[in-house]
């Protein structure tokens, strides 16, 4: 494992982190809590010290399961959690729909106290605004509250997780430029590079540390997706459109020069090397679903970094949408010829 300082904070984190949503929710097919606890513990034993969770994950289970697994080594890990969704009013989240948000000072303080209780700790190392919208960054009252919480020792630093999906360029820029937030969590992968590419020079300028989640594009880049694959109804990936899956697999087939024989990497490891090639990204948060993936993703750090030629080929493919138009045109031509 390798470690780094996150942006201009004093947080020393592992370069590969653990996104607790895989074991704190059923969104990724894991329903056994004991399995989740064991996986978290194995991650710690393998050198992972950065664990990213949220109060919304499993209605608090994403925090309680972390405390259950690693409460005895609290002083040796960095805990990041998130706030901003109203989990107290009884609303039910369906699929990708979002709960109402509340960033008022009173709600934030209440949410923090509930998270501290679930985590069985007296402080959170990185407390992140969960998918804030642009007006949220205009609230001086909110950021005064967060500074107060730092002075009180209840949080060490605050950050922002931009989402829930790709996009939100204005929000990311506002977080860095207007509020000088020291940590931003973004989506970035071989298949989903925008708007992250806009963030990199700004993060460098502002001293912002970036955290990159779903580097494997929800499974497209770790070898677990196959054509025609289906998922359980409560699995997050069941809500993906079939066209997205098929398009992703076509794109991945054009990245075979990054992995396999002679490269020293699996596809999952190549995806991680791609993300970590960006100097402003301090930590990658792959979706770890089992021990085999845990070991594979950590071992990615020891595989050959991407060469300049490989980076150039990736850029060309992405800038031309992996030449999807040519594929679709060819398919249409074949259909017409058989019509």
How many angstroms separate the CA atoms of 62 and 271, rounded? 26
* Nearest to 47, CA basis, from 283, 328, 336: 283
pLDDT more than 90, % of the chain = 81
* Nearest to 132, CA basis, from 178, 91, 85: 85
Higher confidence at residue 96 or residue 143?
143
Q: What's the whole-number mean pLDDT along residues 296-304?
A: 98
* Nearest to 203, CA basis, from 169, 178, 164, 177: 177
Query: What 3-state DSSP class applies to 231?
Result: coil
pLDDT tops 80 at residue 94: no
Residue 47 burial class via C-beta count within 10 angstroms: exposed 0-12, middle 13-18, buried 19 and up = middle
pLDDT digits (tens, 9 = 90+) for 174-216: 999 999 999 999 999 999 999 999 999 999 999 999 999 999 9
pLDDT digits (tens, 9 = 90+) for 47-83: 999 999 999 999 999 999 999 999 999 999 999 999 9
Cα angle 23, 29, 35; round to 5: 45
* Nearest to 56, CA basis, from 25, 89, 14, 94: 25
At residue 242, the pLDDT reads 67
CA end-to-end distance (rounded Å), the chain = 56
Q: What's the whole-number mean pLDDT along residues 300-313?
A: 97
How many angstroms separate the CA atoms of 144 and 52, rounded? 24
Q: What's the whole-number mean pLDDT along residues 117-135?
A: 98
CB atoms within 10 A of CB 211: 26
Give every CB contact of residue 224 below 8 A, 6+ residues apart in sequence. none
């Amino acid at each position: 494992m390798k470690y780094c300082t996150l942006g201009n904070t004093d947080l020393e984190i592992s370069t590969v982190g653990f996104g607790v949503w895989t074991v704190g929710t059923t969104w990724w097919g894991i329903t056994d809590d004991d399995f989740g606890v064991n996986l978290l513990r194995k991650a710690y034993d393998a050198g992972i010290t950065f664990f990213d969770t949220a109060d919304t994950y499993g209605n608090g289970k994403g925090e309680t399961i972390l405390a259950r697994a690693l409460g005895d080594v609290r002083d040796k890990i960095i805990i990041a959690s998130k706030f901003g969704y109203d989990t107290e009013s009884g609303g039910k989240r369906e699929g990708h729909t979002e709960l109402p948000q509340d960033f008022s000072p009173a709600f934030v303080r209440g949410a923090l106290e509930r998270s501290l209780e679930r985590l069985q700790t007296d402080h959170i190392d990185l407390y992140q605004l969960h998918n804030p919208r642009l007006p949220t960054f205009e609230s001086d009252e909110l950021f005064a509250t967060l500074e107060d919480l730092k002075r009180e020792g209840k949080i060490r630093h605050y950050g922002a997780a931009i989402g829930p999906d790709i996009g939100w360029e204005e929000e990311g820029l506002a977080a860095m430029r207007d509020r000088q937030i020291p940590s931003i969590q973004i989506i970035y992968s071989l298949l989903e590079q925008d708007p992250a590419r806009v963030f990199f020079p700004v993060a460098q300028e502002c001293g912002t540390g970036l955290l990159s989640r779903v580097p494997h594009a929800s499974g497209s880049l770790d070898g677990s997706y196959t054509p025609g694959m289906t998922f359980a109804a409560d699995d997050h990936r069941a809500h993906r459109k079939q066209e997205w899956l098929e398009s992703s697999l076509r794109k991945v087939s054009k990245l075979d020069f990054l992995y396999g024989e002679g490269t020293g990497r699996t596809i999952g490891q190549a995806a991680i090397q791609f993300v970590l090639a960006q100097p402003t990204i301090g930590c990658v948060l792959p979706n770890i679903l089992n021990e085999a993936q845990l070991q594979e993703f950590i071992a990615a750090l020891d595989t050959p970094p991407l060469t300049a030629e490989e980076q150039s080929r990736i850029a060309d493919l992405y800038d031309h949408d992996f030449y999807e138009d040519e594929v679709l045109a060819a398919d249409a031509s074949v259909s017409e010829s058989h019509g």
